[in-house]
Amino acid sequence: MKHKLGYLALPLLMAAAFTTQARADGETIAVFTKNQTNPFFQTVRVGADNMAKVLNAKTLQYIPTKPDSIPEQLSQIEDVVVKKPSAIVFTPVDYKAMVPGVEKINEAKIPVVNITDRSAGGKFLSFVGADDYSLGLETARFLLKTLGGKGNIVIIEGVKGSLTNVDRVRGFNDALKENAGAKLLASQPGNYQRLQALQVMENLMQSNSQIDGVLAANDAMAVGAIEALDGANRKAQVIGINGTKEAIDAIKSGKLLASGDYNGFAQGCLGTMMAIRSLRGQPVISEIVLKPTVITKDNYQPFDVPLEQRTCPTFEDAGKLGGK
């Protein structure tokens, strides 16, 4: 409920928080994510909240009300520069378009950590993300192995031009090249949104009588594709990426074949950790790229834990998870 209230009245809550919640013995970390519609970013926010609580700090969530809105995130940056939190954990809604916003944060001398989507410019204390290419490659390899290296395949892409989409789809396509018996029927964007992916899948089914596999660039779109398949009473193997709760539930029920673990919880934890450690004059890791894991019906159990019950990695764990 705490988060739901934040979404409904975010601007007012943010303003109030800066004036009433700042504590003398703790830092205020502004956390920027891309939208409220992709469950992945909820895991990022919970991870950030968890780490801030452990380290006796506070978070304030900045979320565009319109998903991935460049003007809205730029406006939120204008706001945060005025409010001056202790530090910022930042996911750009667009890795190129938000560079001027990052430069404003730099000019305001507010320390900032980049997470999830690597910014094309600006100065950051640290980057925390995952290997999108490997996630695409390994999840697609698993799908094609399940299909015996053959079949009619469709790709539902994320936002065209976004780094995560470019790298994940490149991984999908490289896995397809490894399997001469597989045929790519179409590759169309669903913009990381469940409803758009559902509509894309409905259109693809109308023009293709046989679809054996669906490579979706995130879990929300994979769920949308499954809903379209169910609506048409058709079957296909579907994979997603992010390892969200809805993906784990779908894997358990047999609806989803697999998901690549993007580990948003760890990204939120570690991004916030690096920001706070820097503020306290402690060493930080300049780059953490989390290693890929393909979550299936055979290994989902460690991921089937409610977000609120998860524990953030330690600083020592961070290096093992992918520190550079």
Tell me: do 136 and 250 sit in the same domain: yes
d(CA 134, CA 31): 26
Number of domains in the chain: 2
Instruction: Return the residue matching tokens 């879990």.
Output: 219
Instruction: Return the residue matching tokens 């998870």.
Output: 321
Tell me: do 137 and 257 sit in the same domain: yes
d(CA 305, CA 311): 10
Is residue 201 in some structural domain? yes
Tell me: do 178 and 114 sit in the same domain: no
Alpha helices in the chain (DSSP H): 2-8, 10-20, 39-54, 70-83, 99-107, 132-146, 163-177, 194-207, 219-231, 245-253, 264-279, 315-322
Question: What pLDDT does 308 receive?
Answer: 82
Question: What pLDDT does 15 receive?
Answer: 37
Q: Which residues contact 24 (CB under 8 A, 6 or more apart)?
A: none
Tell me: do 104 and 162 sit in the same domain: no
Instruction: Return the residue matching tokens 């996630």.
Output: 135
Is residue 10 in some structural domain? no
Instruction: State the CATH number of the domain containing residue 227.
Output: 3.40.50.2300
Whole-Å CA distances, 324 to 114, 129, 176, 285, 308? 15, 12, 30, 7, 28
Q: What is the pLDDT along the chain (324 residues), one digit of tens a residue?
A: 333 323 233 333 343 344 334 344 589 999 999 999 888 899 999 999 999 999 999 999 999 999 999 999 999 999 999 999 999 999 999 999 999 999 999 999 999 999 999 999 999 999 999 999 999 999 999 999 999 999 999 999 998 888 889 999 999 999 999 999 999 999 999 999 999 999 999 999 999 999 999 999 999 999 999 999 999 999 999 999 999 889 999 999 999 999 999 889 999 999 999 999 999 999 999 999 998 899 999 999 999 998 888 999 999 988 777 656
Is residue 57 in some structural domain? yes
Is residue 136 in some structural domain? yes
Is residue 8 in some structural domain? no
Question: What pLDDT does 321 receive?
Answer: 75
Tell me: do 223 and 267 sit in the same domain: no
d(CA 271, CA 52): 10
Is residue 316 in some structural domain? no
Tell me: do 257 and 141 sit in the same domain: yes
Tell me: do 195 and 269 sit in the same domain: no
> What is the CB neighbour count within 10 angstroms for residue 41?
25
Tell me: do 33 and 181 sit in the same domain: no
Burial 145-184 (b: 16+ CB within 10 A, else e): ebbeeebbbbbbbbbeebbbbbbbbebbbebbeebeebee
Q: Which residues contact 204 (CB under 8 A, 6 or more apart)?
A: 154, 185, 186, 188, 211
The torsion defined by the Cα of 116, 49, 282 and 18, in degrees rounded to 10, comes to 100
Is residue 2 in some structural domain? no
Instruction: Return the residue matching tokens 């594709």.
Output: 225
Tell me: do 74 and 170 sit in the same domain: no
d(CA 70, CA 112): 18
Q: What are phi and psi of 58, to 5 degrees?
A: -125, 150
For residue 121, give its domain range: 28-130+263-290
Tell me: do 106 and 213 sit in the same domain: no
d(CA 98, CA 103): 9
Is residue 312 in some structural domain? no
The angle, 0 to 180 degrees and rounded to 10, between the axes of the packed helices 70-83 and 99-107 is 0
d(CA 294, CA 44): 19
Tell me: do 169 and 65 sit in the same domain: no
Tell me: do 56 and 122 sit in the same domain: yes
d(CA 75, CA 249): 36
